[in-house]
């Protein structure tokens, strides 16, 4: 079954290089070059997608960010750094960036409290945990456009489910126009984000498998309650998972476009918007594509640096 062609592919097996007679340098470099070539073939499809949508795309973003141009990308006017200056001093952009951070902070808070607690309880050997696990994950898995739309309609002033519920339980005075008032619009977004604890629950549940059971047994023998074990042993033990969860939440806040777009739509007056909705409305709503490009670059710089830090940090941890 072996032929000359397969013989030449054995680059990774030391000492099996093709012929003894060759000079040492070439014997070393031949297989290396061969591996590189084969790797290139395996990586070529990936390179095509990355090349078009990321590398060329980012270059295009850089170019458009210095232009005043519409979505037809014709008759562009070079404006230099103006877009960046205007975007960074735009109060709506600043608010979007702050909202983005607030959103991330809130998701982290919910993940580390409710998400952690739910994951711990699910691992405590209760019945029906599979069912509960599915229900808890459901809102984060179904299309956000649907979930946020249904949720957005629940916020309706007149016949929205939330106001009706409040009236029914005698809290009618709390019934209000959720989207019109800024604080209540934020509250609504907060509730919506609380539904999105699925990913943290998955991470915690997965990492619980690596926890050393004997510590827990010892603690139980010493008379610790389950809640003490959760809080004093498992919470500190899972600190690496906390890091993963925090980074995922921050990166997730840049992806939260659908959540905001379909629930509050950035109302009132763009003040609950995030960078995602800012880019979308600049590009498609007001045709200020240069603004959208500049904002995209700002997001990419933040997100990619975070990603880089995580990779370096994660590598060190190993």
Residues 58-117 that bind other proteins (CB under 8 A): 58, 60-61, 64, 71, 73, 114, 117
CB of 274 closer than 8 Å to CB of 257: yes
Q: Which of 84, 116, 151, 178 binds other proteins (CB under 8 A)?
A: 151
CA distance 84 to 61: 12
Question: To 10 degrees, what angle do helices 144-154 and 182-194 make?
Answer: 130
307 binds other proteins (CB under 8 A): yes
x/- track of binding to other proteins for residues 157-186 (CB under 8 A): ----x-------------------------
Candidates 7-15, 74-82, 85-93, 178-186; binding stretch for other proteins (CB under 8 A): 7-15
Q: Which of 84, 147, 178, 186 binds other proteins (CB under 8 A)?
A: 147
Q: Which is nearer to other proteins, 182 or 196 (CB)?
A: 196
**304 burial type by CB count under 10 A (0-12 exposed, 13-18 middle, 19+ buried):** exposed
Q: How many of the chain's residues bind other proteins (CB under 8 A)?
A: 111
CB of 31 closer than 8 Å to CB of 17: yes
Q: Which of 103, 262, 264, 273 binds other proteins (CB under 8 A)?
A: 262
CB of 195 closer than 8 Å to CB of 146: no
Residue 158 three-state SS: coil
Q: Which of 18, 68, 149, 176 binds other proteins (CB under 8 A)?
A: 149
Could you tell me the smallest distance in angstroms from the CB atom of residue 109 to other proteins?
16
45 binds other proteins (CB under 8 A): yes
Which residue, among 203, 60, 65, 187, has the nearest Cα to 122 in the 3D structure?
Answer: 203
């Amino acid at each position: 079954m072996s032929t000359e062609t397969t013989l030449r592919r054995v680059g990774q097996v030391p000492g099996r290089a093709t012929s003894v007679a060759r000079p040492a340098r070439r014997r070393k470099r031949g297989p290396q070059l061969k591996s590189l070539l084969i790797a290139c073939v395996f990586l070529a499809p990936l390179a095509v997608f990355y090349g078009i949508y990321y590398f060329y795309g980012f270059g295009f973003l850089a170019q458009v960010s210095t232009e005043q141009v519409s979505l037809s990308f014709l008759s562009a006017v070079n404006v230099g750094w103006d877009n960046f200056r205007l975007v960074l001093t735009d109060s709506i952009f600043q608010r979007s960036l702050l909202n983005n951070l607030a959103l991330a902070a809130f998701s982290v808070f919910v993940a580390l409290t409710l998400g952690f607690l739910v994951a711990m309880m699910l691992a405590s050997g209760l019945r029906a945990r599979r069912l509960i696990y599915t229900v808890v994950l459901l809102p984060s898995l179904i299309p956000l456009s649907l979930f946020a739309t249904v949720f957005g309609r629940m916020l309706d002033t007149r016949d929205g489910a939330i106001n009706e519920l409040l009236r029914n339980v005698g809290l009618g005075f709390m019934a209000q126009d959720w989207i019109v008032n800024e604080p209540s619009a934020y509250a609504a977004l907060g509730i919506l984000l609380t539904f999105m604890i699925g990913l943290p629950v998955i991470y915690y549940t997965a990492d619980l498998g690596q926890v050393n059971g004997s510590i827990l047994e010892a603690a139980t023998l010493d008379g610790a309650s389950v809640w003490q074990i959760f809080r004093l042993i498992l919470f500190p033990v899972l600190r690496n998972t906390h890091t993963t969860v925090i980074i995922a939440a921050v990166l997730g806040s840049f992806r939260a476009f659908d959540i905001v777009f379909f629930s509050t739509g950035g109302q009132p007056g763009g003040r609950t918007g995030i960078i995602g909705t800012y880019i979308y409305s600049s590009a498609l709503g007001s045709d200020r594509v240069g603004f959208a490009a500049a904002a995209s670059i700002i997001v990419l710089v933040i997100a990619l640096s975070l990603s880089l830090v995580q990779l370096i940090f994660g590598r060190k941890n190993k």
